Amino acid sequence: MSTWKANYVGGESLNQYNEDGSENRYKDIDRTKLFSFELLNGDKRVYVLLLHEGQRLIFRRRNWINLNGKLLKQVYLVGYQFNDSTGKNYQVINYIHEDGLVELDNDRNDLVIHPDEIK
C-alpha cells in the first residue's frame, strides 16, 4: 500500500498526491464531509473504510526503522472513533500489514508491541 484517497459526500475526493506531484497531508482531509477512506496499491483499492454519522477517521502509519535509517516494516492504522450517549470515547482500528494481514483492535495504548508487528 502506498497511497490514500479520501472520498466526500457529493462525489468529490482528495488523493494523497496531486497530479503535479505535490502531497496532501492527513490534516488536509475535510473530515466533516468524509464518506469513505481508501488505501491504494497503485490503482488498486486494497482497503476501504465507510464512515457513518458521528464517526471520525483515524489514520496513522507506523514505521519500523533500523539504526541505519533503513525502513524494515510499515503498518497502516485505519479506523474510526466515536462517543456514545454518555460521552465515552471508543476507537475501532484496523492494523493493516504489508503482507495483507488485517487485525481489528482498539487503540493499543498499552504500548505493547504485538508479535505480528515485529515479524
Q: Divide the 119 residues of the chain into consecutive groups of 10 and give the mean pLDDT of each group.
A: 91 96 96 96 93 95 88 91 94 90 78 56
Note the pLDDT of residue 66: 87
Per-residue pLDDT tens over the stretch 52-67? 999 999 999 988 888 9
Note the pLDDT of residue 80: 96
Instruction: Give the whole-angstrom CA distance, residue 27 versus residue 59.
Output: 10
Note the pLDDT of residue 110: 54
Note the pLDDT of residue 52: 96
Tell me how many domains the chain contains.
1
Cα 67 to its chain centre, rounded Å, is 26
Nearest to 50 by CA among 82, 28, 79, 15: 79
Note the pLDDT of residue 109: 64
For 33, the domain range is 3-117
